[in-house]
Copies of this chain bind each other. A is one copy, B any other.
Amino acid sequence: MNTAHQQHLTRIYRDGLLEDVLPFWTTHAVDHESGGFLTALDRDGTVIDTDKGVWQQARFTWLLGELTNCELLRDNPSRDIWLELARHGADFLTKHCFDPADGRMWFHVTRNGQPIRKRRYAFSESFAAIAYGELAQTLHSDEYAAKATQAFQRFITHSLTPPADQAKYTQVRPTRSLGFPMITINTAQQLRDSIGLEVANEWIDRSIEDIERYHLKADIQCVMETVSDTGEIINHFDGRTLNPGHAIEGAWFIMLEGRHRHDSRLVELGCTMLDWMWQRGWDNEYGGMLYFTDVYHLPVQEYWHDMKFWWPHNETIIATLAAYLLTGDEKYAQWHQLVHDWSYRHFPDPQHGEWFGYLHRDGRLSVPLKGNLWKGPFHLPRMLLTCWKLLEDSAHNETTKVLDSKRP
């Protein structure tokens, strides 16, 4: 990947963020009437559902706060607007997204914040934590810092000790999922940056250890999404189902931890996870990342297994770029080009901007919407920002090549 190509990519990611994706959401998603954000948008930005997903409220708030704290954007004239919108999002979270009965967060609320649904898991809390953290940083606010710490603690406590009477499954076949340690790493990384969370490294270490011990299977070169409580492969539909894009998201969290700590072992670990899951998820027939695959190549039970979703592509674009910049291994530059090119050929909406979210295996559009309870201003703008920053750091020699290109 020569300098000219890196400059070309820098422009794509920076301009994509600032001139396409951010304006799409700040123009169409801000609810000036009831607060928070309306992220269920049709192709052209028309609101098609006024309900609000709590994940998206928190994630957009995080993104806006992150932009206000970004060195590269210190002098951007929109900085005050982003800060104002981040406070707008945080206000909605604080006012409407917590259940006073138990302090937990909702998952889905009405436009004016009446609760529709709470879920058994606590990812709303993890996203609220990083949102509050950015506001604490940008405003030097102890109050937001306390909210961030409290939301993180609730995420951890609820995930480790979920109420038994709300369990989805019996205790006959206890499982552990990649989601909890993976999201814990990123949440703690964000809170270490934003509020200097003291326990961040401890939780990151513990989470990486758990992923290595329970989810990585060197003998079959695979990162398992769900395993038994002792790390065994569960040879049933759910246990065999791999989520390559999810594991690859975890891979770059760990690579960047390696960069932060100048720890080549962690960079190698992240690259190994990427290597394995690229082989498991890349679609050699049509290109792009498959959503689910089976560890033993058996049929998958989830109906949408072979669709192409936007977010695994965002995560794989980040992971391959980070792997290349951290190791110099040309293989990762080639993979980055493959997934970047496939994504940019199929996902962007040339007419109204932003990306479509849901394509068929061959890249044809399945549904034209830009947002819903699951898709909002998060994976794509985070990719654009993260890749832009990685490339800028590299151009200024701030990305230490933690590993040389010596891996087998």
Residues of A within 8 A of B (CB): 40, 42-43, 48-51, 110, 114-118, 165, 168-170, 172-173, 236-237, 298-301, 303-307, 358, 360-361, 366-369, 372-373
Contacts and interface: CB of A to CB of B under 8 A. Distances in A.
B303 A170 contact: no
A168 B236 contact: no
A115 B172 CA distance: 7
12 contacts: A40-B237, A49-B237, A114-B172, A116-B169, A116-B173, A117-B169, A117-B170, A118-B170, A299-B368, A299-B369, A301-B372, A304-B304
Nearest to A298: B48
A299 B42 contact: yes
Nearest to A173: B116
Contact of A304 (B43, B118, B168, B303): B303
Contacts of A360: 360-361
A173 B111 CA distance: 12
A110 B173 contact: yes
Given A117-B169, A172-B116, A367 B305 contact: yes
A5 to B, nearest CB: 34
A160 to B, nearest CB: 22
A48 B299 contact: yes
Contact of A373 (B49, B301, B369): B301
A49 B236 contact: yes
A23 to B, nearest CB: 21
Contacts of A49: 236-237
Contacts of A300: 367
Nearest to A40: B237
Contacts of A367: 299-300, 305-306
A176 to B, nearest CB: 16
Contacts of A169: 116-117
Given A49-B237, A50-B236, A298-B48, A110 B172 contact: yes
Given A165-B165, A360-B361, 13 more contacts: A40-B237, A42-B298, A50-B236, A110-B172, A110-B173, A116-B170, A116-B173, A299-B367, A299-B369, A303-B307, A304-B304, A305-B366, A306-B366
A303 B358 CA distance: 7
A27 to B, nearest CB: 19
A51 B236 contact: yes
A270 B236 CA distance: 40
Contacts of A361: 360
